[in-house]
């Protein structure tokens, strides 16, 4: 007896989280990924709306010189998707990535908060407020201090350490992907608080501690001690550091 194919729409599939998620989704039998990115026309979704079984909405903008970009990419797109689902009377599960910055007064934060509000009255949504995500394929010198430090230090470039005592809340990309796939398979997550979902564990580290850890990796690049450690954060950070040599 053949198992029905599950068609999964992934918006932002070329992004950092999208690439890592699609890599793992591609290993699941009978899953077909429908990729939607910046240059994909919106009618691609409507053409496939009757056969989509699950939506990972990861598309968005975190940095731009044009304020409107935040609201168009982070809010308007998910509103258009929800309107399309209502038009076709479909209640497809949607897992959307928001951010802990939705609690801030920046245009990025406000646009994420508006996107969350779009899904408040949608009865089949998982809205994840993510901390700062680190791991392989994260773009350096953009909006991730982990990626920037790992890339620059591994390539012999200088790093600028400011606000040394600022505390970062970090989550690892493999933990994010594992959580998302669990929801895709089971339709359930226990990591819910006050109406939003979260990825665990969260690692807290100061900017200064982070830079020193990564500098230690460079000094001991031939050592396997970092992979044998029981400190899960150090191990995950070291694997991230190694990824920037490729």
Annotated domain spans of the chain: 1-130, 132-170+203-246
Neighbours of 35 (CB within 10 A): 15
CA-to-CA dists, residue 79 to 102, 111, 123, 217, angstroms: 17, 12, 14, 44
pLDDT at residue number 58: 98
CB 135 within 8 A of CB 173: yes
Distance, in Å, from the CA atom of 225 to the CA atom of 72, rounded to the nearest integer, reads 46
CATH class label, 1-130: alpha beta
Q: Which two tokens stand for residue 243?
A: 């990824």
Largest CA distance in the chain: 60
Q: Does 1-130 match 132-170+203-246 in CATH topology?
A: yes
pLDDT at residue number 106: 95
pLDDT at residue number 1: 42
Distance, in Å, from the CA atom of 63 to the CA atom of 45, rounded to the nearest integer, reads 25
Distance, in Å, from the CA atom of 146 to the CA atom of 233, rounded to the nearest integer, reads 12
* Contacting residues for 169 by C-beta, under 8 A, at least 6 apart: 100, 131, 132, 202, 203, 204
Distance, in Å, from the CA atom of 99 to the CA atom of 77, rounded to the nearest integer, reads 16
pLDDT at residue number 223: 62
Distance, in Å, from the CA atom of 244 to the CA atom of 27, rounded to the nearest integer, reads 24
- Residue 215 has phi, psi (to 5 degrees) of -65, -35
DSSP assignment letter at 106: S
CB 174 within 8 A of CB 135: yes
Of residues 108, 128, 197, 244, which has the active-site annotation?
Answer: 108
| Residue whose structure tokens are 């909006």 | 143
Active site residue 108: yes
Domain 132-170+203-246 part of CATH 3.40.50.1000: no
CB 20 within 8 A of CB 97: no
Give me the tens of pLDDT residue by residue for the chain, a chain 246 residues long: 446 889 999 999 999 999 999 999 999 999 999 999 999 999 999 999 999 999 999 999 988 989 999 999 999 999 999 999 999 999 999 999 999 999 999 999 999 999 999 999 899 999 999 999 999 999 999 889 999 999 999 999 999 998 999 999 999 999 999 999 999 999 999 999 999 999 999 999 999 999 999 999 988 765 667 777 788 999 999 999 999 987
């Amino acid at each position: 007896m053949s198992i029905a194919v599950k068609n999964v729409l992934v918006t932002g599939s070329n992004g950092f989280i999208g690439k890592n998620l699609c890599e793992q989704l591609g290993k699941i039998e009978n899953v077909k990924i429908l990729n939607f990115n910046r240059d994909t026309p919106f009618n691609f979704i409507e053409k496939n709306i009757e056969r989509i079984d699950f939506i990972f909405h990861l598309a968005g903008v975190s940095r731009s010189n044009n304020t409107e970009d935040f609201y168009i990419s982070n809010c308007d797109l998910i509103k258009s998707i929800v309107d399309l689902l209502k038009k076709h009377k479909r209640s497809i599960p949607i897992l959307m990535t928001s951010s802990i910055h939705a609690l801030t007064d920046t245009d990025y934060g406000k646009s994420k908060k508006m996107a969350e509000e779009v899904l408040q009255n949608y009865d089949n949504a998982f809205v994840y407020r993510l901390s700062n995500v680190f791991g392989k394929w994260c773009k350096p010198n953009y909006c991730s201090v982990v990626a920037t430090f790992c890339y620059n230090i591994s390539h012999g470039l200088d790093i600028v350490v400011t606000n040394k005592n600022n505390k970062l809340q970090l989550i690892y990309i493999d933990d994010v992907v594992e959580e998302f796939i669990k929801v895709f398979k089971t339709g359930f997550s226990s990591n819910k608080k006050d109406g939003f979902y979260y990825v665990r564990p969260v690692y807290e580290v100061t900017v200064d501690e982070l830079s020193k850890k990564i500098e230690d990796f460079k000094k001991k690049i031939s050592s396997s001690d970092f992979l044998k450690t029981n400190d899960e954060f150090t191990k995950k950070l070291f694997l991230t550091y190694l990824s920037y040599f490729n």
